[in-house]
Structures are given as structure tokens and as C-alpha cells.
A and B are shown apart, each in its own frame.
Chain A
Amino acid sequence: MDTATETSVEISVKSLNLWFGKFQALKNINIDIQKNQVTALIGPSGCGKSTFIKTLDRMNDLVDNVKITGEVVYQGRNILDSDTDVVELRKQIGMVFQKPNPFPKSIFDNVAYGPRVHGVRKKQNLNEVVERSLKAAVLWEEVKDRLNESALRLSGGQQQRLCIARLLAVEPDVLLMDEPASALDPIATSKIEDLIYELKNDYTIIIVTHNMQQAGRVATNTAFFYLGELVEYAPTIDLFERPQDKRTEDYVTGKFG
């Protein structure tokens, strides 16, 4: 199913299957993720959407007993190949997690973390990166006078934007977001959503969300996952207004089960 709004393809997934032990968590997933668009992944808990985005930056490598087949083509290469430089890949495809996870360090050190582990040492350069990233994450104004304070003193919403800034500092192409606003209140959520909408000009964004209204607000295309299958992938408005598959219809209208 490939009726989603076309621009150019950033990531092309072909016949992706994934097993945790004997349990098949992803079944023959085929999807083209569009460049500089927000793609939302929706579906009930355990449908495989989080597993899917973790596959895109090889985070499933951290889990025991995983078997993956198929292809994830990014920049002309199958990133599932065993010779992929995972560290390099994760610089290009970054992940924002459900719970804000700032390091127990200062705001500055959080944002400078990525550049530092990649070898940037000059204070001048770090200052620039930190300012630029915090500005891009629309956090600069709120924290510019207290960059040396612990990141843990920020509010939940600020922490999440800090995590996004921290990611932007390593200059990725693709941002993966695993329910980035699910732990936040509505105002913090709308700030994150505005930010996501802004960021799509420069980044390709894939966001997992339980909140269909959120998908509606930020995503160009939406994919519905169910029981490890990609059931339907379409422009968000179509998926919500006139889904083609009965399962999608039942899910978006909340009449599941």
C-alpha cells in the first residue's frame, strides 16, 4: 500500500521481518519514508511500531535474541548489513525517547555531549553548536542564562526539547521520535508539536504516537500498524477521514476489539 504523499524517499524499507525469539514482531513491512516530511506511526500497544523505528537506527541490536530479515535502504545502503557502522549510522539517524532522558549533567554538557564524543574539543566550536541546537529546539531563550545548571532541573517539556537539541547537535538527517510527548502536559506537548512541524523543513521525522490527534497535527503521512503488519500507509487526512482498511477504520474510530 503506497499511496502516501510522494516527495523523495529518505528511507526505503523492503520486506522487513523481525522476530524476538519465536515471536514475530514485524511481518513483511514495506514502506517508503519521505524526505523532509513527518511520518507518523500509529497502532495499538504491541503492534510493532516502536520495534520498527528501533530497527531504523539499529537499537534492536541491544535486545537479546533478535532476528531480522529484509532491507532498510538508507543512502543507497542496506543498514541491516552486518558491516554497517552502527555508531556512524546513529549520528545520522537519531532517536528521541518517550521519557525525556537528559544526562545528569549541565544543560550545556548535555547538548555538547554528541559533538564531544565525536571529537569536537574547541570551546568556541562547542559554544556555537550548543547555541545553534538550543535555538533550533526553541529552548535557547528559556535556558541561555543557566547553561551550567543541571538539565534535571528543567521541566519535563523543557527536558524533552533539550533531548531534541542534544540530538540536533550531532547534525542527523533523520529524527526518530518514540512517543516524544506522551509524558508531557498539553502545553508542553503543543510546544513539542510546533517544534516537530518546524523541524521537518530540515529533517526527516518519524514519530510513533498513541495520540491520533497528534499524528493529525504534525504528520504528512501516517502508517497504521497492527499485530506486526503495516496495514495502511496514506496521507494523514485520508487515513483519518476515509481509511481503506476495515482494521484502520475500527482503530481510528476507537471501536477496536
Chain B
Amino acid sequence: MEAKRRELVPLALLWGAGIATLVILIVILAYILANGLPVISWHFLTGEPALWGQTGGGIYSTIVATLAVTSISLLVAAPLSVGGAIYLNEYTKETSLRMVIRQAAEILAGIPSIIVGLFGFLFFVIYLAPFTGGWSMISGGLTLAFMVLPISLRTSEEALKTVPAELREGSLGLGATKWQSITTVVLPTALPGIITGLILGVGRAVGETAAILLTAGGSLNLIQSLRDPGRPMTLNIYNVLTEYRDTTTAYGTAAVLVIAILAITLITDLLMNSYTKKLKGL
């Protein structure tokens, strides 16, 4: 009985911590959605933005800009991070080089986004302007790629590590080459983990503001090419609040953003669950 009572205190504390996390999440979501959902309408989603100096209007161009920078960052970061993870996990031995690369990724992940943005500004916007078009979707996307890369590299590497060595040996033992083993056995097995890592990265890209602020420009015009400047949703929230105190548009945009992130997370979870089940033969 005494032992049981002593167990009660840590149990209660842990239970409290869990509940607190849940409550905080619900409060934030409820607050954003309660204020944002009423704003959302067909016109809000597809309409032109308000003219300069006015409030209200649609956020169509910002949705497109978010899609553009996110896609670019994903297109750049996904092959790099998955390729890098494969290289680290499958081709290098546990040497100091591997440690250095992994450490570098950790540090990169820890750099404040405004500093990454500063780098993106100096490198892509200024130095590579002839290619990127200066402030542009390309500059923003590439800068975001730097932020996505370390996250998805680490998660991909972890995912590859969880693939049992027996599967690799089994494949090699059948006379498959290393590359065949990786593409036909290792990657399919690690796919759920890798995708999860990429989704985490996408979440980061969609939600990033500071780095975008310095690299994507801020034009509310609908982009015509990736070399145009644009204003992704996060930046729009920042701008309408700081410039016009337009809380309506801010809440609406926030709600769209939150719903988008929720949707992405849930849909990939669902897909990955069924994929994992299929993999496990359930």
C-alpha cells in the first residue's frame, strides 16, 4: 500500500503534464478557429487582396505564394536530405566525418530563423539576384530549404536506422547490389519515417515567417513566375497586423494556415498508417 501511494505522486504530475499539453493545444486552436473561421468565405480564399492602404480583401495570392515557397523548399530539401541520409547511414562507416555532418545538421537546425533569413537575403537575394530575381519565391524557397533540410535529414536517418540489418543482409545475401538493396528493400521499409520527416519539414516551411520576411519580398500581387516576389500567408499575418491592425484578415489567414497544417498532418498520418499496416501485413 505504501509503495502504491508513493507511485501516486509522480503519476499525478505526469498525468497533469499530459493534460496541460492537450489543453494548451485546444485553447490555441479554438481561439484561432473561433476568430478565423467566420472570416473564411469563398471570396476570402479566392479574392484579390485589398488595395494598398485598405483592409479586408481575399488572400488568394498569399496562398499561392505559400504553396510556391513550400514546394520549392521541399523539392530542394527532400532529395538532399534523403540522399544525405542514405549516404550517411548506408555508405559511410561510423567515423568522425559522419559525426561532423550530423553535428552540423543539428547546429543548422538550431540557428535562429532570422539568421538563416539573413544568409538567404545576402546570398540568394543579393548575390544570386541574376538567377533568383532578388526577392522572389526562389530565394524564399531556397532559404526555407535550409531550414527543412536538417530536420528531414535527421528524421530520414533515424528512419533508415530502424530498418533491421537482417533485411539488408537478406537482400545482399541474395546477390542484390547495394543500390538495389537500398531502393527495393531499405527505402520502402523506411518510407513512413522519411515521409514523416519531410512533413515535419513542410510544417516548418509553411509556418516560417522570419526567413521569408527577408527573402520572399512581400508583394501582394499574384506571382506570375517563381522569380517574382510574393507574400506567403505567415508574412501576410505579420504585415496586416503591423501595418493596418487588420485582425480580421490576420485571424482568417491564421485559420486557413492552421487548417492546412492540420490537414497535411492528418492525411499523411492516415496514408502512412495504412502503408505501415500493409508493410506489416495487417
> Are chains A and B touching directly in their complex (CB below 8 angstroms)?
yes
Binding site for B on A (CB under 8 A): 57, 59, 62, 64, 87-91, 94-95, 97, 99, 101-105, 113-114, 116-118, 149-153, 163, 166-167, 170
Contact A117 B278 (CB under 8 A): no
CA distance A126 to B188 in the complex (A): 21
Contact A170 B174 (CB under 8 A): yes
Contact B184 A152 (CB under 8 A): no
**Chain A CB within 8 A of B51 CB:** no
Please name the residue on chain B nearest to A172 by beta carbon. B175
CA distance A102 to B189 in the complex (A): 12
CA distance A99 to B282 in the complex (A): 20
The secondary structure that dominates the B interface is helix
CA distance A57 to B172 in the complex (A): 10
- 24 pairs, A vs B, C-beta closer than 8 Å: A57-B173, A62-B172, A64-B94, A87-B175, A89-B175, A91-B175, A94-B173, A94-B175, A97-B170, A97-B173, A101-B164, A103-B171, A113-B176, A114-B175, A114-B176, A117-B174, A117-B180, A150-B278, A150-B279, A150-B281, A152-B281, A166-B174, A167-B174, A170-B175
Min CB distance B182 to A, Å, is 12
Contact B170 A88 (CB under 8 A): no
Min CB distance A252 to B, Å, is 30
Interface centre among B93, B171, B280 (most CB of A within 10 A): B171
CA distance A89 to B177 in the complex (A): 11
Known: A59-B169, A117-B176, A153-B282. 17 other contacts (CB 8 A): A59-B172, A87-B175, A88-B175, A90-B172, A91-B175, A94-B173, A94-B174, A97-B169, A99-B166, A103-B170, A103-B185, A104-B279, A105-B188, A117-B184, A150-B279, A152-B280, A153-B281
CA distance A170 to B177 in the complex (A): 14
Min CB distance A79 to B, Å, is 14
Contact B177 A163 (CB under 8 A): no
Min CB distance B274 to A, Å, is 13
